[in-house]
């Protein structure tokens, strides 16, 4: 994931991004997406943000709501849970084989 998206989410900024890779999944409906290379759609989305304080505020709130998902503590906890789950499954499988 691009660092610029993480930074925008962290600071509660509205996001305009190209619709590539995992970006749509990460944004979870937050932000305005445009097809790669479509400068007209990019300009349209930027004009929307300039013209609409309510849209900017809505996207800001959505960014802030996503912030907790990308905190180091959240990522570390998810990784720890994954490892614990894998170790538990391995122990369970080992016990059932004996």
Q: Which domains does the chain have, with CATH numbers?
A: 3-97 (3.40.50.2000)
Residue 38's φ and ψ, nearest 5 degrees, are: -90, 85
Helix/strand/coil for 84:
helix
Mean pLDDT in residue range 12-41: 92
Q: pLDDT by residue (tens digit) across 62-95? A: 999 888 887 778 778 888 988 888 888 777 766 6
d(CA 8, CA 92): 43
Mean pLDDT in residue range 21-38: 91
Q: What is the pTM of this model?
A: 0.70
* Mean of the per-residue pLDDT values of the chain: 88
Mean pLDDT in residue range 4-22: 91
């Amino acid at each position: 994931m691009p660092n610029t998206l993480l930074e925008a989410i962290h600071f509660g900024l509205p996001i305009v991004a190209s619709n590539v890779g995992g970006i749509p999944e990460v944004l979870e409906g937050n932000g305005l997406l445009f097809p790669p290379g479509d400068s007209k759609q990019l300009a349209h989305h930027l004009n929307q943000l300039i013209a609409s304080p309510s849209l900017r505020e809505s996207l800001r709130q959505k960014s802030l709501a996503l912030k907790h998902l990308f905190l180091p503590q959240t990522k570390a906890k998810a990784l720890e849970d994954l490892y614990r789950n894998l170790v538990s499954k391995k122990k369970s499988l080992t016990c059932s084989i004996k």
